Amino acid sequence: MDRRITAVSAIETLDSRGNPTVRVSVRLDCGVVSSASVPSGASTGAHEAVELRDGDARRYGGKGVRKAVDNVNTVIARAIVGHDVERQVELDRLLVELDGTPDKSRLGANAMLGVSMAVARAAAEAAGMPLYWYLGGATARRLPMPMMNVLNGGKHADSGLAFQEFMIVPVGAPRFSEALRYGVETFRAIGAALRARGESIAVGDEGGFAPHLPGNEAACALIVEAIEAAGFVPGRDIALALDPAATSFQDEGAYLPDRAEGPRKNSDEMIEIYRDWIMKYPIVSIEDGLAEDDWTGFSRMTSLLGDRIQIVGDDIYVTNTEFIRRGIVERCSNAALIKLNQIGTVTETIEAIDMCRRAGWRYVTSHRSGETEDTFLADFTVAMGGGQIKAGSLCRGERIAKYNRLLEIERELGAEALFDNPLD
Ligand code: PGA
Ligand code: ZN
């Protein structure tokens, strides 16, 4: 049965940083109305699809999204009203054609993604299916291993830590809900350890603590101590993952990590640091250990460390098949980070995932540092079955919303739910 789109509209709402974002509603002739909100990054890759901002300094410091909202309410609405909502690929292609630019700068990737997500959600609702089922099929039942970002640095906090994300990965947990509990209990232990040292327990953009530690290595050591204090075995129960987001501490071709790691470093010296830390700490995954334009460095890092840990490319690929293809040819990593708003439509995001699968790469679906209460990512992650998610720390509602949705899905799948350690 056809389910036609009868109306599409958008409003300007706020993300978790209080910056304007786009929320889109799609109405169908069967009466269903579904909405979706678009996230926003802070340490964005140079080649991400363009997030259209008004640039009018009199409103929100230029960050208003009235133009993007307007594009949904006029150009996009005119083009897709009357279409069958289940034609996701066709509708996404229509959006891309309507925009007509290589970087989605005319309509704005924020306008386009809001529509793309709301279309998927409306179609699922009209079909009477949960979103993960609608997008992933009746056999989608893998709950992801959460990479929980417990210490925030880089552009996500003023902690002074150069590395952006220090994550815990409950590799020994028997199911998702237990993985979450391991995470919460360790997060609390980190808080207690910080308090005992007289350190700040304020949190950064993704909900991880943002203390003033001596350096990145001290952050790793603190987490390992907290894992033990919480009663878990580092490495066996809970491992570490890093997202240094190295582009943010690169300057004129050199890397400037914290003072504790010494002065300016080249790629090989950064790889040496990582190699050393892999021996000392139970690190299973490093994302953006080098800068987005350091393709040869990524390649060397993968040939040296790729058989021992997961090497993830985020800013270097920006969920774009053009860059992922090059990464596969040049063996730059063995995994990619996947963010819907880096590319701008649901269909293109799935194409990026398909390319990873064909290359035998892993992929990690991810939130942004600027998020909303929207839980699309949780369903999308289960639908894609990749087995890994980045959704932030164990506080802040916009992060917890994704975890809570995954708990619901786990409950709904019951005994059929799968959960294992993809990093084995
Ligand atoms: P962003 O950070 O959302 O600020 O880009 C997330 C990441 O780098 O993984
Ligand atoms: Zn990243």
Mutual orientation of helices 346-358 and 321-329 as an angle, nearest 10°?
10
Write out the two tokens for 239.
């491992």
Q: Any idea what DSSP says for residue 313?
A: E
Query: Which residue in the block uniquely carries the two structure tokens 């990464």?
Result: 327
Check whether domain 145-416 has CATH 3.20.20.120, yes or no: yes
Return the domain boundaries, the chain.
5-128, 145-416
The total number of residues shown for the chain amounts to 424
Q: Any idea what DSSP says for residue 415?
A: G
**pTM for the whole structure:** 0.98
What is the distance between the terminal CA atoms of the chain, rounded to a whole angstrom?
Answer: 44
What is the CATH architecture assignment of 5-128?
A: 2-Layer Sandwich (3.30)
Write out the two tokens for 224.
């390992």
Angstrom distances, CA of residue 288 to CA of 44, 48, 219, 243, 247: 12, 15, 18, 6, 8
339 is catalytic: yes
- Residues of the chain with pLDDT below 70 are 1
Q: Which residues surround ligand 2, an ion (CB under 5 A)?
A: 243, 287-288, 314
At 261 the pLDDT is 72
152: which residues sit within 8 A by CB, 6+ positions away?
159, 161, 164, 165, 166, 203, 204, 205, 206, 207, 208, 209, 210, 393
At 225 the pLDDT is 98
Burial (CB < 10 A; 0-12, 13-18, 19+), residue 55, is exposed
Q: Is there an atom of ligand 1 within 6 Å of 15 CB?
A: no
Candidate from 312, 342, 366 with most ligand 1 atoms within 8 A of CB, to mutate = 366
**Contact criterion met (CB below 8 Å) for 34 and 116:** no
206 is catalytic: yes
* CA of residue 388 to ligand 2 center, whole Å: 14
Q: Is there an atom of ligand 1 within 6 Å of 243 CB?
A: yes
**Contact criterion met (CB below 8 Å) for 343 and 319:** yes
At 263 the pLDDT is 83
At 91 the pLDDT is 98
Q: Is there an atom of ligand 1 within 6 Å of 205 CB?
A: no
At 2 the pLDDT is 74
At 1 the pLDDT is 61
Report the nearest atom of ligand 1 relative to the CA of 205.
4
